[in-house]
Amino acid sequence: MKRYRKNIVAGNWKMNKSTTDAEYLANDLCRDLAELRDVDVVLCPSFTSLQAVGKVIENTLVRLGAQNMHWENGGAFTGEISAAMLRDLYCHYVILGHSERRQHCNETDYEVNAKVKAALAATLIPIMCVGETSEERKEGKTEEIIKRQIEGGLDGIDDGLDGLIIAYEPVWAIGTGDTATPEQAQEVHEFIRILLQTLFGDDVAGATRIQYGGSVKPDNAKALMAQPDIDGGLIGGASLEARAFVEIVKSAIPEKIPDYKEDDAPSVSS
């Protein structure tokens, strides 16, 4: 089921950077990435910096993403942000179900599902995160957890996934420096793709991009991107530093991936 999929690398800046610092970083990144066509690049600053970063990248190929949203369109939900509000700021993407939100804000698969549906309805592309904890992995429950999160998060979505991206982020690898080996990551990515095939058929499974996230750094990015079912990365810590992020993005350019063959040429981009 190997199909060409354009790699996509997103920077998840989490709760970091003032607006001014976010603008600086976006400007720095644009120097190298503004015209890059071979990899889709997405910056996900905090809500408060979305507008400023959006302004910096407006005439470039770099796209804007948010880190969360509410599933309702509007109303009495103090402190929340809707999909329409994100579209209003020219966001194209939104990270949903990140493990930090599942862990610290008790976000459930049911809520993630409601958010995924609301994002798709607003033509925002969800980056839906899934991943097991170290205990779950030790107990041999990795596939069970991933299956539950994917089936729960995508429940009731029947008309294809409209470009939805899945980010496999083992919780034990996030911010720990303890990255999954390329083989460990590939094994789960392949499992996810086969699951998508069962749920949505060959075309959707072949076209859906699955990012890896969890301590991706310039020195391990290339080997991860070289795996057949890894289609880019969701980068936390290393996305806060321009040089590191640019290097990671560049290691996702197809020609630079070891073993890349002309036969893998683009036929389906997303």
- Told to check if 134 binds ligand PGA by CB under 6 A, we report no
- Told to check if 237 binds ligand PGA by CB under 6 A, we report yes
DSSP 177: S
- Told to check if 12 binds ligand PGA by CB under 6 A, we report yes
Nearer to ligand PGA, 205 or 248 (CB): 248
Catalytic residue among 98, 100, 107, 136: 98
Nearer to ligand PGA, 30 or 238 (CB): 238
Residue written as token pair 């995508």: 154
- Told to check if 213 binds ligand PGA by CB under 6 A, we report yes
Kindly determine how many residues on this chain lie close enough to bind ligand PGA according to the rule CB under 6 A: 13
169 is catalytic: yes
- Told to check if 169 binds ligand PGA by CB under 6 A, we report yes
Q: Which of 215, 220, 227, 251 binds ligand PGA (CB under 6 A)?
A: 215
Beta carbons of 48 and 65 less than 8 angstroms apart: no
- Told to check if 244 binds ligand PGA by CB under 6 A, we report no
| H-helix or E-strand spanning residue 213 | strand 210-213
- Told to check if 216 binds ligand PGA by CB under 6 A, we report yes
CB under 8 A, 24+ apart: contacts of 108-112: 108/152, 109/148, 109/149, 109/152, 109/153, 109/155, 110/152, 111/71, 112/149, 112/152, 112/153
Alpha-carbon distances of 87 from 64, 78, 84, 125, 258, rounded to whole Å:
10, 19, 5, 11, 37
**Residues known to be catalytic:** 98, 169
* Positions in the binding site for ligand PGA (CB under 6 A): 12, 169, 174-175, 213-216, 234-238
